[in-house]
Chains A and B, each alone.
Chain A
Amino acid sequence: MAEAILQATAITAGYVPDLPILRDVSLTVRPAQITLIIGPNGAGKSTLIKAIAGLLPVSSGQIRFQGSDITGIRTDQLSAQGIAYVPQTDNIFRSLTIRQNLDLALRRAGGQAPTRLAQLFEQFPALAAKHGDKAGTLSGGQRQFLAIAMALATAPKLILMDEPSAGLSPKATQEVLEHARTLTTQGVSILLVEQNVNQALRLADHCFILAEGRNQLDGPAEDLRDNKIVGDIYLGNRRMGVA
């Protein structure tokens, strides 16, 4: 198996000091794969992705990216290392145009920015067609595509996606998740938090299940797809630690 691009080990983190939401959570992301995190509401999925993204303090544990310790590094510094974070909502700048949103993300690209912009518009033709429009006028699905395009503009090796399907129709959800799949063919790794378990498990390579802030199960996504325990834990029918 390929070496991990991201390795989180025994992470304890939360929003308030001394009140951890995550307790000793570990996970591994392999290159050019979609690694899925699922779990019931309040399991700590978004907390985990925010802790990895540097938005929350990690009180213990270690996060390594491509072999380097990135625990506690600020979100904006992670971007320079090749990690992009796509927040669940409010992930675009609605009062700016689509082009301005992308320009903002491309600022580090320097002389390559025009080429990269052209590539992004080729990849997301719906955005190209509306490049002069305010991002706030886009539909929910198009906004997620813009958020993903902005993340791609930073040339990431790993994208952290926090519930990209939040508020989207099933069709738009499918489109967004399928697009995430195509990104892995370009060598990008994805760590995905998702509520749409069935759709996400079909596209993911590996899956980690959290409940009550702890690891419950993990394994290849196709193995977990038909696993009864997955349904039980995901639906909250089983108590923590039984699995």
Chain B
Amino acid sequence: MIGVISYLVFFATTASILAIAVLGLNLQWGNTGLFNGGVVAFFGAGAYATLILGGTAQAGHLGGYGIFYPLALLGGMVVAGLMAWIVGLLTLRLRHDYLAIATFGVAVAFENLMRNAEWLAGGAKGVRGFERPLRTALGDGFIYNLAFFAVVLLILILTYLFLQRIVVSPFGRLLRAIREDEEAAQSLGKNPARIRLIAFITGSVILGLAGGLYGTFYAFVSPQDVLPTLTFQIWAMLIVGGAGNNRGAIFGAFLIWGAWTASGWALSRFAPVEVQLYTGSVQFILIGSVIVGMLMWRPQGFLPEHLVVSHKGKTKRKQQGEY
């Protein structure tokens, strides 16, 4: 029984971390219409920076600063935000598919940099020597994982509340206006380039936060953690859950991560041995099929975007198409 609970805690922690990442992407795509095809680069920047800043002394690569963990995590977010600022200045003039291609290129470059620059983050061997915070007090077992899950869940809730505040604020309205028509927004005196950059950086900081928590949870990060697959997984979570809806983003994260792990388990248990050799590939095909299927039959996702009406502090939500 404890084994099942232990696994559920492990599953829920990973799904919650991914849900934070999906919330970050939702701000960029769902609310602002920015097609970030390089999600994993900002996630990875947060993970690497957190472990480098908070890790113990290491020979052979940057790191070992041993910074107090919350500051290291904050540092990971700042690094992801700085990277987004630079990438945003260079690419945000591009639209939709071109932006996706450019940011995808950034993610591939990031992975290759991490894989080859051993002095920076250990190259293919990854970042080593990170001690999980409070490990000596809580140990390495179930109690630690449960406590860590509680922290991640709290951060997920805070991130959700923060983004919900943005959605109902005038700034959130402005994001949706820019998503819909930049020229019209410009004609009203808004500066879409600046607003898009703010949204891109904010979303990337949240992706960096998720990456930092991910790196902390596994106490390790390597180029294998920043492959394009993760970008597609996070996109699948948003599309399935419902772009533009923060609850949908969280729901999608749990659903797709559940389907991913369940498919891995089912394949390893029931599929012939020769198929099991290709479990990873079969899972990728499943993810791709889910994205295509949802885009064809339910492009708005399971929990579609709601019309948010906020007047004088009172907020009510209406399902799109209700009017």
* A residues apposed to B, CB below 8 Å: 53, 55, 74-77, 79-80, 84-87, 90-97, 99-100, 103-105, 107-108, 132-134, 137, 147, 150-151, 153-154
Contacts and interface: CB of A to CB of B under 8 A. Distances in A.
Given A103-B173, A132-B309, A133-B323, A94 B180 contact: yes
A238 B122 CA distance: 74
A108 B187 contact: no
Given A99-B311, A103-B170, A154 B189 contact: yes
Contacts of A103: 170, 173
B225 to A, nearest CB: 36
Contacts of B307: 95-97, 134
Given A96-B180, A105-B188, 6 more contacts: A85-B186, A91-B187, A94-B180, A96-B176, A99-B309, A104-B173
A95 B189 contact: no
Of B183, B188, B323, most buried by chain A (CB within 10 Å of CB) is B188
B-side binding surface: helix, strand, loop or mixed?
Answer: helix
B180 A95 contact: yes
B309 A80 contact: no
A85 B184 CA distance: 8
Interface string B188-204: 11111000000000000
Contacts of B181: 90-91, 93
What 7 pairs across the A-B complex have the smallest Cβ distances? A79-B189, A85-B187, A75-B186, A93-B177, A76-B191, A134-B323, A90-B181
Contacts of B190: 76, 104
B289 interface: no
B177 A104 contact: yes
B230 interface: no
Interface string B136-174: 000000000000000000000000000000000010011
Given A93-B176, A95-B320, A100-B173, A53 B187 contact: yes
A93 B180 contact: yes
B187 A86 contact: yes
Contacts of A84: 187-188
A87 B188 CA distance: 11
Given A95-B307, A104-B188, A133-B323, A55 B183 contact: yes
A69 B153 CA distance: 55
A91 B186 contact: no
A65 B275 CA distance: 72
B187 A92 contact: no
B188 A95 contact: no
Interface of B: 170, 173-174, 176-177, 180-181, 183-192, 307, 309, 311, 320, 323
Contacts of B174: 104, 107
A134 B180 CA distance: 13
B186 A92 contact: no
Nearest to B316: A132
A212 B247 CA distance: 54
B186 A76 contact: yes
A146 to B, nearest CB: 11
Nearest to B186: A75
9 contacts: A55-B186, A87-B183, A90-B183, A90-B184, A93-B181, A93-B185, A94-B180, A104-B188, A108-B189
A85 B189 CA distance: 10
B173 A151 contact: no
Nearest to B322: A134
A30 B5 CA distance: 77
A76 B189 contact: yes
Contacts of A132: 309
Nearest to B305: A95
Given A95-B320, A100-B173, A100-B309, A87 B184 contact: yes
B177 A96 contact: yes
B189 A80 contact: yes
Contacts of A134: 307, 323
Contacts of A105: 188
Contacts of B170: 103-104, 107
Greatest chain B CB density within 10 A among A75, A103, A132, A133 is at A75
A150 B188 contact: yes
A195 to B, nearest CB: 20
A164 B173 CA distance: 25
Given A76-B191, A105-B188, A137 B176 contact: no
Nearest to A134: B323
B298 to A, nearest CB: 18
A42 to B, nearest CB: 21
Nearest to A100: B173
A95 B176 CA distance: 8
